[in-house]
């Protein structure tokens, strides 16, 4: 006789480290505290007016299913954008519209791996990859990267020993969430070469593709490895166009059989939302390049603001992100989650406090991230500075009230 | 060394029998043929103006993530609708907004079952359940129902022998897709009692809840088994409000631990789409009961039209649906998929043809559905009649051109 218990995978799926403390933040707000949210990659940049107008001008009388692959208009516009900016010669055939990059990643995990199969990832990693691994029964194998080495990728000969008979894919997020590291062309080519030699898929999460700084050029991996069947690119409108809530992502692959299998999974869930797809197509058809250029300079300035503000706080070690809009910072505390909780429950400064994500959940080897937080520089420069200043004041107060929780400097 | 092959589950996920022939239908349209689509549950009923106005009045400047559980406004409105119409005493705590009922079902499969675990279903069944089973690695165990018996549920003593040590849940779709059968209260109570005695979850897919005919009263299972922790209800706005493209569904359970686990999975995919949730909350807050009453009478009349039109065709055996908007009809052909393909590729009548879904894909035991089609009566009465008349003409022509494929009458 069965008892009414849950599946192992249900019990294994971790809560999101990004959203774990969201309830405490909500309570702080309800107490009247203003909370600066550096915990989540929810930019405050305005979504393109072309998108909002696309929504407002919706004129359907029946909100019908879209095709399982995505709307024709959106596929046409998205492929055109990729060909214009990256000249990768893509057609809609190689694309599948998904409900955010999240769904594209889940599909990729499922078509590459059976339960028990392995995917190599660089650790620390985007926390939700662990959720997708639990959902799909896939094992993530961490390749260690370190703050001291600016989270650069290990060299090929350091990676290869981690490949086992169960390895099916290598997953890299470029530019990286949570580290801000941007892969060099040589590193990408090394991964492509390795996947060819070892018969692996290479999943490249390019959600933050355009956000690279200090004169770097945005890079789609298909520029380096045209039409390469080993590669699956995960793309998303969420961050690029400040459209996180639209839940529109995309999977790109030239591997026919893989695309067909992903399409069958996509059919089972029917379709991505119609109205957001229509508005997104409307947007991509009309948006000016300036929108992205402005966003890139703005994030670059916010990065500088964040780094400068962090440099003012004693005992904090942070890496300078080369791209994306996150960074990891090690604090002089024993347990960053306790500190983040303190910020939301015990501390405020003139009615303000700062919400950061404890980074342990971004490390496969949790203990390595125990003293670290992830900061998303998604607020305007002034708010970013102010939020980090409050973080510094909070740290000072924490060391007074909870000295046993702090590292001596 | 691995070769670049796909996972077993990728190769096992079946194409949707509903959407399998969609490419052929598209080609027919491109040849200038008008295609009556009885293959898919995409109603032609207008979506509520309250929803469309909710979309058009969208005034956000940043399309931000919603909470992983769903928007507060939508949760409040949805729970109010359930309490008003069914008095089940629900609060938003027991609800999780999902991307269509599809995602709610995937979550339910994942939290109840580990790979290899079993769910009992009634066969024929909603084809996409098989897709969710492939995705989640769950085994569906079919309980046979038959056209001759109007697809009524088997009795308890016929079901129990199918329960194994791996059984985790019973899944019933009520009203049923694809059979149109509506469970009696006694049948539902029998399932509840069995799940209690055997320690199983009872997943009830109530996507078509309101659509019951001939004086039947819509039934939410929580009316019969208040706050029962064994029960997971799957709900959706797609069919009820002709909002298939909005992709807004919901999982309902009083099982705390199960809800927490589903919420963790929901966190990994971040959130359901923001704009559709906002428009749906706007709609539920303002819609008049008349919208649903009108929809119910309209579907009831369409059902009558479909049944009458089918009765005119020699050799066709169909069940009279008590609810939902599908029915199964057995045709005098050896292979209904070949016939459906014929209708899209070889046949037309004054520039019109009819697209039906071969039903083999709705049967776990495919061979039992080989001569059967599923008809969705989602077009207006006149179109439904006309589409079925064309189907009849197509059958006559098919028996001339492909007599070897037809059963003698």
Residue B356's domain is classified under what CATH number? 3.90.1150.10
Flag if B99 and A102 touch (Cβ within 8 Å).
no
Shortest alpha-carbon distance between residue B281 and chain A (Å): 15
Select the residue of A57, A255, A268 nearest B132 (Cβ to Cβ): A268
CATH number at residue B199: 3.40.640.10
Flag if B135 and A244 touch (Cβ within 8 Å).
no
Tens-digit pLDDT profile for residues A317-369 = 999 999 999 999 999 999 999 999 999 999 999 999 999 999 999 999 999 99
Measured in whole angstroms, the distance separating CA B127 from the mean position of its chain's CA atoms is: 8
Task: Domain of residue B280: give its range.
Answer: 49-287
- Are A267 and A314 in the same domain? no
Select the residue of A16, A229, A257 nearest B268 (Cβ to Cβ): A16
Closest CA to B281 of B54, B111, B61, B94: B54
Select the residue of A7, A47, A68 nearest B62 (Cβ to Cβ): A47
Task: Give the residues across from A326 on adjacent strands.
Answer: A376
Select the residue of A62, A167, A272 nearest B46 (Cβ to Cβ): A62
pLDDT value of position B195:
97
Which chain A residue has the Cα nearest residue B104?
A: A269
Tens-digit pLDDT profile for residues A45-55 = 999 999 999 99
Domain count of chain B?
2
Q: Is residue A148, in this structure, part of any structural domain at all?
A: yes
Q: Is the pLDDT of residue A160 over 90?
A: yes
Q: Is residue B105, in this structure, part of any structural domain at all?
A: yes
Closest CA to A339 of A401, A409, A389: A401
- Are B342 and B243 in the same domain? no
- Are A134 and A260 in the same domain? yes
Shortest alpha-carbon distance between residue B122 and chain A (Å): 18
Kindly list the residues from chain A whose CB atom is less than 8 angstroms away from the CB atom of residue B40: 65
Q: Is the pLDDT of residue A409 over 70?
A: no
Flag if A245 and B271 touch (Cβ within 8 Å).
yes
Kindly list the residues from chain A whose CB atom is less than 8 angstroms away from the CB atom of residue B272: 247
Q: Is the pLDDT of residue A30 over 50?
A: yes
Kindly list the residues from chain B whose CB atom is less than 8 angstroms away from the CB atom of residue A107: none
Select the residue of A102, A106, A257 nearest B6 (Cβ to Cβ): A257
Q: Which of A225, A260, A286 is the last residue of a domain?
A: A286
Kindly list the residues from chain B whose CB atom is less than 8 angstroms away from the CB atom of residue A198: 1-2
Kindly list the residues from chain B whose CB atom is less than 8 angstroms away from the CB atom of residue A245: 60, 63-66, 271, 273-275
Shortest alpha-carbon distance between residue B376 and chain A (Å): 15
Shortest alpha-carbon distance between residue A403 and chain B (Å): 33
Task: Give the residues across from B236 on adjacent strands.
Answer: B249
Which chain A residue has the Cα nearest residue B201?
A: A4
Contact indicator for A4, B229 with CB cutoff of 8 Å: yes
Say how far apart CA A242 and CA A238 lie, in whole Å.
6
Flag if B102 and A270 touch (Cβ within 8 Å).
yes
- Are B320 and B245 in the same domain? no
Q: Which of B230, B256, B287 is the last residue of a domain?
A: B287
Flag if B245 and A63 touch (Cβ within 8 Å).
yes
Which chain A residue has the Cα nearest residue B196?
A: A4
Q: Which of A63, A246, A283 to mutate to test the interface with B (most CBs of B within 10 A)?
A: A63
For chain A, the average pLDDT equals 95
Kindly list the residues from chain A whose CB atom is less than 8 angstroms away from the CB atom of residue B99: 99, 247, 269, 273
Q: Is residue B1, in this structure, part of any structural domain at all?
A: no
pLDDT value of position A95:
98
Q: Is the pLDDT of residue A2 over 70?
A: no
Say how far apart CA A94 and CA A15 lie, in whole Å.
33
Which chain B residue has the Cα nearest residue A41?
A: B65
Select the residue of A3, A7, A100 nearest B113 (Cβ to Cβ): A7
Which chain A residue has the Cα nearest residue B103?
A: A269
Which chain B residue has the Cα nearest residue A22?
A: B67
How many CB pairs lie under 8 A apart between chains A and B? Answer: 272
Query: Using 50, 70 and 90 to split pLDDT, how confident is the model at A19?
Result: confident
Contact indicator for A102, B269 with CB cutoff of 8 Å: yes
Shortest alpha-carbon distance between residue A307 and chain B (Å): 25
- Are B256 and B310 in the same domain? no
Flag if A199 and B19 touch (Cβ within 8 Å).
no
Joined together, the tokens standing for residue B295 give: 């929809």
Shortest alpha-carbon distance between residue A191 and chain B (Å): 15
Select the residue of B2, B128, B243 nearest A167 (Cβ to Cβ): B2
Select the residue of B19, B46, B65 nearest A61 (Cβ to Cβ): B46
Rounded mean pLDDT, A397-402: 97
Alpha-carbon distances of B235 from B79, B98, B99, B220, rounded to whole Å? 11, 9, 11, 10
Q: Is residue A240, in this structure, part of any structural domain at all?
A: yes
Flag if A131 and B267 touch (Cβ within 8 Å).
yes
Q: What is the dihedral of CA B275, B103, A66, B342, to 10 degrees?
A: -170
Beta-sheet strand order (sheet of B248-253): B95-99, B248-253, B231-236, B201-205, B167-173, B118-123, B139-144
Tens-digit pLDDT profile for residues A108-150 = 999 999 999 999 999 999 999 999 999 899 999 999 999 999 9
Q: Is residue A3, in this structure, part of any structural domain at all?
A: no
Shortest alpha-carbon distance between residue B239 and chain A (Å): 10
- Are B302 and B277 in the same domain? no
Kindly list the residues from chain B whose CB atom is less than 8 angstroms away from the CB atom of residue A45: 62
Flag if B13 and A268 touch (Cβ within 8 Å).
yes
pLDDT value of position B3:
60
Which chain B residue has the Cα nearest residue A3?
A: B199
Q: Which of A1, A2, A199 to mutate to test the interface with B (most CBs of B within 10 A)?
A: A2
Q: Which of B63, B111, B236 to mutate to test the interface with A (most CBs of A within 10 A)?
A: B63
Flag if B99 and A275 touch (Cβ within 8 Å).
no
- Are A152 and A53 in the same domain? yes
Q: Is residue A349, in this structure, part of any structural domain at all?
A: yes
Q: Is residue B408, in this structure, part of any structural domain at all?
A: no
pLDDT value of position A3:
60
Task: Give the residues across from A202 on adjacent strands.
Answer: A170, A231
Which chain A residue has the Cα nearest residue B57?
A: A56
Kindly list the residues from chain A whose CB atom is less than 8 angstroms away from the CB atom of residue B64: 42, 244-245
Say how far apart CA A121 and CA B316 lie, in whole Å.
57
pLDDT in tens, chain B (409 residues): 346 889 999 888 888 877 779 889 999 999 999 999 999 988 999 999 999 999 999 999 999 999 999 999 999 999 999 999 999 999 999 999 999 999 999 999 999 999 999 999 999 999 999 999 998 999 999 999 999 999 999 999 999 999 999 999 999 999 999 999 999 999 999 999 999 999 999 999 999 999 999 999 999 999 999 999 999 999 999 999 999 999 999 999 999 999 999 999 999 999 999 999 999 999 999 999 999 999 999 999 999 999 999 999 999 999 999 999 999 999 999 999 999 999 999 999 999 999 999 999 999 999 999 999 999 999 999 999 999 999 999 999 999 999 999 997 5
Shortest alpha-carbon distance between residue A8 and chain B (Å): 6
- Are A175 and A204 in the same domain? yes
Question: Kind and range of the H or E element at B390?
Answer: helix B381-401
Rounded mean pLDDT, A225-242: 97
| Placement of tokens 């046979």 in the chain | B144
Kindly list the residues from chain B whose CB atom is less than 8 angstroms away from the CB atom of residue A66: 245
pLDDT value of position A245:
97
- CB-neighbour burial class of residue A287 (10 A; exposed 0-12, middle 13-18, buried 19+): middle
- Are B265 and B337 in the same domain? no
Q: Which of A242, A260, A286 is the last residue of a domain?
A: A286
Select the residue of B103, B111, B199 nearest A7 (Cβ to Cβ): B111
- Are B323 and B187 in the same domain? no
Flag if B165 and A273 touch (Cβ within 8 Å).
no
Q: Which of B116, B117, B130, B267 to mutate to test the interface with A (most CBs of A within 10 A)?
A: B267
- Are A38 and A137 in the same domain? no
Alpha-carbon distances of A326 from A148, A378, B127, B377, rounded to whole Å? 17, 8, 42, 51
- Are B110 and B234 in the same domain? yes
Alpha-carbon distances of A134 from A9, B156, B159, B331, rounded to whole Å? 6, 35, 32, 45
Instruction: Count CB atoms within 10 A of the CB of residue A169.
Output: 23
Q: Is residue A1, in this structure, part of any structural domain at all?
A: no
Flag if B40 and A65 touch (Cβ within 8 Å).
yes
Kindly list the residues from chain B whose CB atom is less than 8 angstroms away from the CB atom of residue A56: 55-58
* DSSP helix/strand/coil, B184: coil
């Amino acid at each position: 006789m069965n008892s009414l218990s849950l599946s192992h995978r249900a019990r294994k799926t971790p809560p999101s480290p990004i959203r774990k403390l969201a309830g405490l933040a909500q309570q702080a707000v309800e107490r009247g505290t203003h909370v600066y949210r550096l915990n989540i990659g929810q930019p405050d940049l305005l979504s393109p007016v072309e998108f909002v107008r696309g929504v407002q001008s919706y004129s359907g009388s029946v909100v019908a299913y879209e095709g399982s692959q995505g709307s024709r208009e959106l596929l046409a516009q998205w492929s055109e954008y990729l060909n214009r900016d990256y000249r990768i010669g893509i057609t809609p055939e190689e694309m599948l519209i998904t409900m955010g990059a999240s769904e594209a990643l889940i599909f990729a995990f499922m078509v590459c791996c059976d339960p028990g199969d392995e995917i190599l990832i660089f650790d620390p990693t985007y926390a939700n990859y662990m959720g997708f691994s639990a959902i799909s029964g896939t094992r993530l194998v961490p390749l260690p990267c370190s703050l001291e080495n600016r989270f650069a990728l290990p060299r090929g000969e350091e990676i290869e020993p981690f490949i086992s008979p169960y390895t099916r894919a290598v997953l890299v997020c470029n530019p990286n969430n949570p580290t801000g590291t941007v892969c060099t062309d040589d590193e990408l080519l090394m991964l492509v070469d390795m996947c060819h030699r070892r018969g692996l898929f290479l999943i490249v999460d390019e959600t933050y593709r355009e956000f690279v700084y200090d004169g770097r050029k945005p890079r789609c991996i298909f520029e380096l490895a045209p039409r390469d069947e080993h590669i699956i690119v995960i793309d998303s409108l969420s961050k690029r166009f400040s459209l996180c809530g639209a839940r529109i992502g995309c999977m790109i692959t030239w591997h026919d059989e893989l695309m067909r299998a992903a399409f069958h999974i996509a059919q089972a869930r029917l379709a991505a939302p119609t109205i957001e797809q229509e508005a997104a197509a409307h947007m991509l058809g009309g948006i000016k390049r300036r929108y992205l250029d402005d966003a890139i300079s703005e994030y670059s300035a916010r990065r500088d603001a964040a780094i400068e503000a962090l440099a003012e706080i004693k005992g904090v070690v942070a890496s300078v992100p080369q791209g994306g809009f996150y960074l990891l910072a090690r604090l002089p505390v024993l347990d960053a989650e306790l500190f983040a909780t303190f910020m939301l429950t015990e501390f405020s400064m003139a009615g303000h406090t700062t919400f950061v994500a404890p980074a342990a959940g971004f490390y496969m080897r949790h203990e390595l991230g125990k003293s670290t937080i992830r900061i998303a520089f998604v607020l305007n420069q002034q708010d970013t500075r102010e939020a980090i200043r409050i973080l510094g004041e909070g740290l000072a107060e924490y060391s007074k009230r909870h000295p046993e929780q702090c590292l001596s400097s």
